[in-house]
Chains A and B, each alone.
Chain A
Amino acid sequence: MADGDKRILYKNHCTPQEQVSSSDRYYLDSDCGRKLTGSYMYDLDSSGTTVTNTLTSSGAIGTTIDFIAVTATSISSGTVLISLDGGTTSIIQLLEGECFASKIASGAEPYVTISGTATVDYMTGT
């Protein structure tokens, strides 16, 4: 590493929960039994770059990217969907305030489909 070299710390976690009857609170799901989390420090190489942008209509995030983080900042109407094949098959949905972050294959073609009125922020690492 050297001055200006970049890295990205990302964490994804989830907590499955169950509600026994309609008036109860939600408890940790008894099939799973614990909270789940994973984290990774992704070191970009010395020529690594990051990019950030905002989308208000459907569009490609880029190509030959190694990392993406996409956040649905606001959704007034419609849906926000993400595909990794250039927009052909949407595989991830974001509701307002949700984020998807992952390393991706360099051949993936991340694309955000916005139907309605929404603002989506994203960053990439290469």
Chain B
Amino acid sequence: MATPNDRRVVYGTHVVPQEEIVREEGATTYKLDATVAKRFGGKGSVDITPDQGTDYWTSMMSVGQNWELFDETWNGTASTWDTGAGEVSVTDSLAVIRSGSTAIKFLYIKNLGSVECEVALEGDERDILIPAGAAVAMRTHTAVTTATVKVATAASSGNTTQIEYVIAI
């Protein structure tokens, strides 16, 4: 199929800090954390390159995607042959997810497994942590390239997890 005229990623973040209240009969409830005293959040739209060069820019396989037009090889590591799905296995060794060295404009990673996932965006410092079920989404700066985005579980843990991702140039 032809490359679309344009591509973008609309993204958002929502944070609610809470603190517990124990009521008279022991029941608990939560209220907005008085120290922070507000919710955090925001939204944005990131213009990405219309021609991503490969279907590996996302782990997902759309239900509208034609098999014969799919870029990935049958034994590719970054997909499952199941429309609507998109799981990639991650081990305890830092691994690059998308090949090449092009600067990234947007990054989204969700941890689909049950153990914490760690992400390094520069060097091998696993600074970003993604607990089970959580996700990170960000407009990346120029220092982040396809070659610098690395994902793993805790070092030497022997654990594996699964992720879904969008790594857009």
Contacts and interface: CB of A to CB of B under 8 A. Distances in A.
Contacts of A4: 19-20
A6 B13 contact: no
A89 B11 contact: no
Given A10-B13, A21-B5, A50-B33, A98 B43 contact: yes
Contacts, number: 240
B141 A93 contact: yes
Interface in A61-101: 69, 71-72, 81, 84-85, 89-95, 97-101
Contacts of A1: 20, 28
Interface residues of B, number: 77
Contact of B19 (A6, A89, A92): A6
A47 interface: no
Q: How many interface residues does chain A have, given as a range?
A: 35 or more
B131 A92 contact: no
B42 A8 contact: no
Interface of A: 1-22, 24, 26, 29-34, 36-40, 42, 49-52, 69, 71-72, 81, 84-85, 89-95, 97-105, 107-108, 121, 123, 125
